[in-house]
Amino acid sequence: MSLIVVDVESDGPVPPIYSMVSFGAVVVEPTLSRTFRAEVRPISDRWLPEALAVSGVTRERHLGFEEPGPVMERFERWIQESSKGKPVFCSDNLAYDWQFINYYFHAHLGRNPFGWSGRRIGDLYCGMVKDGYATWKHLRRTGHDHDPVNDARGNAEALLAMVEMGLKLPVR
């Protein structure tokens, strides 16, 4: 089993009404050296300027990004090559990141290599410290700057810190 942290940037709150702009992924392992980054063109004519602004991308630039199908094929291949056993999707905000990745995989490939579920980092931390309202983002070393690989790396760093604190996870 391999944990893969994924972070998504989008131009609105939900696919396919809105579109993913970019995403990044990091395999949770001590080196954090296996990463994936992609930018995808819109799948919808709708977009929220304030949501798109978070990623620092203009609509015109977004329209020039790559078609989602080939991107999702490359991402699936990277997941398969980077995983030992079943890949497990992990994220800061599972409800947000998962919906985009799951939708894009199913819409463009007809399948999701992560299967049907994922893990939310905050819930793991809350369970570990036995406090349903505990905060965990202080465990990140890489700053959260809405670059999807940087954000995924920071979240993977937090998972590694939780392992150092005693959480049992399959990180090699």
At 99-114, the pLDDT tens digits run 999 999 999 999 999 9
CATH for the 2-164 domain, from 3.30.420.10, 3.40.50.620, 1.20.1630.10, 1.10.1240.10: 3.30.420.10
Name the pLDDT band for 127 (thresholds 50, 70, 90).
very high
pLDDT of residue 131: 97
Q: Which residue in the list 106, 108, 144, 146 is annotated as catalytic?
A: 146
Which is it for the CA torsion 81, 76, 25, 116, positive or negative?
negative
Q: What is the pLDDT of residue 171?
A: 85
CA–CA gap between residue 75 and residue 86 (Å, rounded): 15
Q: How many CB atoms lie within 10 A of CB 119?
A: 17
Percentage of the chain surpassing pLDDT 90?
A: 98
With a cut of 90, say whether residue 10 has pLDDT above it.
yes
Instruction: Point out which residues pair with 7 in neighbouring strands.
Output: 24
pTM score: 0.96
pLDDT for residue 172 is more than 90: no
Residue by residue, DSSP assigns the chain as -EEEEEEEEESSSSTTTS-EEEEEEEE-STT---EEEEEB--SSS---HHHHHHTT--HHHHHTSBPHHHHHHHHHHHHHHH-SSSEEEEESSHHHHHHHHHHHHHHHHS--TTTT-EEEHHHHHHHHHT-TT---GGG--S---S-HHHHHHHHHHHHHHHHHTT------
pLDDT value, residue 72: 98
Characterize the bridge pairing of strands 87-91 and 2-10.
parallel
In the chain, the N- to C-terminal Cα span, in Å, equals 10
What's the rounded mean pLDDT across residues 50-77? Answer: 97
Assess whether 146 carries a catalytic annotation.
yes
Following CA atoms 163, 164, 166, 168 in sequence, which dihedral angle do they give, to the nearest 10 degrees?
Answer: 20
